[in-house]
């Protein structure tokens, strides 16, 4: 039985992994800041503290062959740090590399790093999706920190022989999703009309189930070693299509007003909400052909199934 060390186990993606990994036959060690009641009993918790350059990982790394690193300082729309890039580097670069170096020294065979599509950039032109082998073009401090960490990990792999697998997901959704996706469900559930009925962009999404399945696939797949993979559902939607499908899953009538995108951009600029609007009306597509071919992998859950599961969890939480 492979012994897997999981970081970020109490997070959105980590919690799902902490359930799925034991069911797949893996022995799971969760490196946590503090003991948690939210993790299954099948997971052994080891307190290591924060993800930092001075953290001692020795207790958690005992007899571990695989490390799955999902912990990070995450992107936020409004960052209050005096120097956001320095803060992202302190955690995402320095903290991760301290962990990775100790993992390599402890004999970890494979280090799976959850990165971000922000390493590729913020948007794509129609019909020109990002690929895994594109040059890095991060546009914000979070993306820069992830980009720098990817390169540092590959350099470490070349020096130590520890295999590195890098996965860059797009927006991840699923039960208990937060942020903008949760806001969309709240808008639709309330029945408020939305001016998003004429948005013909294309955006790639990845359901939590599909991302977790891909991560688990990368644990033992020989072709995954020292590769970069993009993660999506393989079915891109416009914002209008996404809202229509979510409304159906929520059992709510669609109330979308077809306001031209040019007007939406102008209003968003006037309100100082251009970045928020861009995530709704701009395009961001990824090509997962490399992921599919190299790993012989297909997203096991369809977009409609994943949206329905997400909506049902939202409605259940709302009732409670």
Q: What is the pLDDT of residues 124-179, one digit of tens each?
A: 998 899 999 999 999 999 999 999 999 999 999 999 999 999 999 999 999 999 99
pTM, entire model = 0.96
Query: Average of pLDDT values for 107-129?
Result: 96
In a domain, 293, yes or no: no
Q: Predicted confidence band at 75 (pLDDT cuts at 50, 70, 90)? A: confident
What CATH number does residue 47 fall under? 3.40.50.720
In a domain, 136, yes or no: yes
Q: Predicted confidence band at 20 (pLDDT cuts at 50, 70, 90)? A: very high
Strands of the sheet with 227-231, listed across from one edge: 43-47, 27-32, 3-7, 66-69, 110-114, 163-169, 227-231
Predicted pLDDT of residue 78: 63
In a domain, 267, yes or no: no
Q: What share of the chain is helix, strand, coil (3-state, %, to 5)?
A: 45, 15, 40
Residue whose entry in the numeric block shows the structure tokens 């001075």: 54
Residue whose entry in the numeric block shows the structure tokens 């071919």: 293
Residue 76 has pLDDT above 80, yes or no: no
Distances (CA, A) of 101 to 46, 93, 152, 154: 19, 12, 10, 12
Residue 55 and residue 49 in contact, taking contact as beta carbons nearer than 8 Å: yes
CA–CA gap between residue 153 and residue 158 (Å, rounded)? 9
H-helix or E-strand spanning residue 49:
none
Mean pLDDT of the residues in the chain: 95
In a domain, 14, yes or no: yes
Provide the domain limits for residue 35.
3-175+205-234
What digits encode the pLDDT tens for the residues 278-304?
A: 889 999 999 999 999 999 999 999 999
Predicted pLDDT of residue 274: 86
Residue 93 has pLDDT above 60, yes or no: yes
Query: Average of pLDDT values for 31-51?
Result: 95
Predicted pLDDT of residue 273: 87
Q: Predicted confidence band at 1 (pLDDT cuts at 50, 70, 90)? A: low
Q: Reply yes or no on whether 274 is catalytic.
A: no
Counted domains in the chain: 1
Query: Average of pLDDT values for 201-219?
Result: 98
CA–CA gap between residue 11 and residue 13 (Å, rounded)? 6
In a domain, 188, yes or no: no
In a domain, 269, yes or no: no
Q: How many helices (H) and strands (E) does the chain have?
A: 11, 9
In a domain, 195, yes or no: no
26, 99, 113, 142: which one is catalytic? 142
Residue 77 has pLDDT above 80, yes or no: no
């Amino acid at each position: 039985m492979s012994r897997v060390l999981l970081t970020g186990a109490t997070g959105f993606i980590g919690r799902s992994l902490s359930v799925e990994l034991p069911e797949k036959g893996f022995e799971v060690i969760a490196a946590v800041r503090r003991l948690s009641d939210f993790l299954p009993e099948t997971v052994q918790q080891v307190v290591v503290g924060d993800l930092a350059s001075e953290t001692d990982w020795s207790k958690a790394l005992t007899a571990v062959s695989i490390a799955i690193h999902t912990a990070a300082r995450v992107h936020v729309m409004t960052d209050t740090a005096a120097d956001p890039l320095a803060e992202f580097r302190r955690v995402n670069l320095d903290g991760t590399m301290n962990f990775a170096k100790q993992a390599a020294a402890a004999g970890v065979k494979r280090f799976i790093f959850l990165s971000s599509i922000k390493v590729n950039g913020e948007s794509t032109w129609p019909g020109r999706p990002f690929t895994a082998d594109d040059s890095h073009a991060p546009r914000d401090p979070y993306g820069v920190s992830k980009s720098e960490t990817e390169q540092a990990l590959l350099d470490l792999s070349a020096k130590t022989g520890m295999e590195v697998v890098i996965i860059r997901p797009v927006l991840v959704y699923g039960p208990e999703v937060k942020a903008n996706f949760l806001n969309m469900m709240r808008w639709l559930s309330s029945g408020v009309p939305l001016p998003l009925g004429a948005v013909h962009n294309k955006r790639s999404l990845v359901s939590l189930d599909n991302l977790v399945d891909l991560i688990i696939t990368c644990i033992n797949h020989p072709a995954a070693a020292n590769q970069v993979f993009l993660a999506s559902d393989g079915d891109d939607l416009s914002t209008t299509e996404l809202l229509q499908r979510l409304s159906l899953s929520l059992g709510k009538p669609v109330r979308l007003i077809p306001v031209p995108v040019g007007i939406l951009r102008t209003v968003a600029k006037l309100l100082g909400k251009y970045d928020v609007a861009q995530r709704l009306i701009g395009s961001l597509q990824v090509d997962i052909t490399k992921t599919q071919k190299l790993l012989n992998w297909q997203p096991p859950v369809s977009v409609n199934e994943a949206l329905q599961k997400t909506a049902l969890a939202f409605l259940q939480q709302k009732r409670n």
